[in-house]
Amino acid sequence: MLEVLRGSWALLLGMLLLMLGNGLQSTLLGVRGAIEGFSALEMSVVMSAYFAGFLGGSRLAPELIRRVGHVRVFAALGSLISATLILYAAVLDPWAWAGFRVIVGFCFSGVYVTAESWLNNSASNENRGKALSLYMVVQMAGIVAAQGLLNLGDAAGYTLFVIASVLVSVAFTPILLSVTPAPVFEATKPMSLRTLVRASPLGAVGMLLSGGIFAAMFGMSAVYGTQAGLSVPQISAFVSAIFAGGLVCQYPIGWLSDRTDRRRLIAALAGGAGLAMLLPLLAPPSFPALLALAFVLGGATNPLYALLMAHTNDFLAREDMASASGGMIFLNGVGAVTGPLVLGWAMDRMGPDAFFGYVALMLVATGGYALWRMTRRARVALSDQGTYAPVLPTVSPVAVELTQEIAAERAQEGDSPGQTAQAVDKAEKS
């Protein structure tokens, strides 16, 4: 781990500052939107716009990098993010905010592609898995810590937007001044959606649903807090609890997934959390109980992304794992764009409780589909399962593809000896 820090400290420090800025602006917009009188539906359009931009950026950013290079793309997108964060406070209109969010989502996607390419280039084959894990921890820690910054100023003023802008601007300094050479960008040709769905229906459907769940948490949790009458410190604690749950539970769930039928774990995790999210609909929770529910929600949904990816890998040949990442990201992105819109519409008509009703429905649907798939296909033997690798919905296609490559390398080394095309054929016939 020390070797990873020595080689990538500038990149990791820069990403920590970036996540502080990104995490702050997302929650801040939810609070400021309520102050300006924006409806839940209007805010859902604003929040959904980020994921539309992110999805577009994941497709277009690689081409920009090929044309002008990593450094120029990195610096240009960073400057655009910083400028846009200031404009939120200057133009108080939900449709303008939606446009700004498309820009910010696009730029962050390009920034992640660049940063993760650098991370991959700076790591060796021996420590690439550790580098990726540390990168994920830094991302989650940045989002959690960002919520505390919400208490440093008045959400009705300019200060917090300035802080977010400064954090993003400063984040690029250690990265651009480091001596690490810019990597050569390469991308694997993506697998078709039809092939992906045929290989793992649960992975494909689960990715679509998990995208809607994660986007609702990342974008609409602060909107829920304002509608529920929480104070700004309470909102920051509520959002922090969601991502703290994801940070704490990622590795225990990963450990368990390598030792049990992943479909059972997906069903138990999603179904159990979904049923827990119904509790606020039965009786108004106290604030400590609300924080506990937020922790459970994050602890179940954040690892679900990596769990579904690991499950999908169990039905892919080694050489197909990296190419499957593009389809998985696309399905997750479609869910992320539509999820906040559905939730915003529901909250406008049914009030803040619709937040928990929506995530409960999506989680139970995921768990229920996992149970149904267990009746349609024989389980993969534990000896044939690939190794779980932590990956978050916030990362770019580069990190997802890197995760797939690590899984394939581990399979080739013998950690999962049955992970071969023959095993895939056998599972499909079952």
Q: In angstroms, rounded to a whole number, what is the distance separating the alpha carbons of residues 119 and 36?
A: 40
**Location of structure tokens 């990873």:** 4
428 alpha-carbon distance from chain centroid: 30
| DSSP-derived 3-state class of residue 405 | helix
pLDDT in tens, 230-252: 999 999 999 999 989 988 888 88
Calculate mean pLDDT across residues 173-187.
Answer: 65
pLDDT in tens, 313-353: 788 776 676 677 777 888 888 889 999 999 999 999 999 99
What confidence score (pLDDT) does residue 415 get?
47
pLDDT in tens, 272-322: 999 999 999 998 899 999 999 999 999 998 888 888 888 887 887 766 766
The mean-pLDDT minimum among 244-253, 255-264, 401-410 falls in 401-410
Residue 421: CATH number of its domain: 1.20.1250.20
User: What element of type H or E holds 258?
Assistant: none
What confidence score (pLDDT) does residue 271 get?
93
**Location of structure tokens 């793992």:** 200
Calculate mean pLDDT across residues 100-128.
Answer: 78
Residue 417 has pLDDT above 60, yes or no: no
Residue 138 has pLDDT above 60, yes or no: yes
Average pLDDT, the chain: 82
Calculate mean pLDDT across residues 80-104.
Answer: 93
Structural domain total, the chain: 1
pLDDT in tens, 48-79: 999 999 888 877 877 787 787 777 887 888 88
At 268, the amino acid letter reads A
Torsion of CA 221, 393, 24, 75, to 10 degrees: -150
Q: In angstroms, rounded to a whole number, what is the distance separating the alpha carbons of residues 418 and 382?
A: 9
Those residues with Cβ within 8 angstroms of residue 68's Cβ, 6 or more apart along the chain or in another chain: none
CB-CB contact of 322 with 404 (8 Å): yes
CB-CB contact of 50 with 219 (8 Å): yes
What are the start-end ranges of the H helices in 314-396? Answer: 321-350, 354-374
**Which residue segment(s) compose the domain that 247 sits in?**
2-181+190-429
CB-CB contact of 183 with 304 (8 Å): no
Nearest residue to 126 (alpha-carbon basis) of 414, 419, 413: 413
What confidence score (pLDDT) does residue 184 get?
57
Q: In angstroms, rounded to a whole number, what is the distance separating the alpha carbons of residues 207 and 169?
A: 33
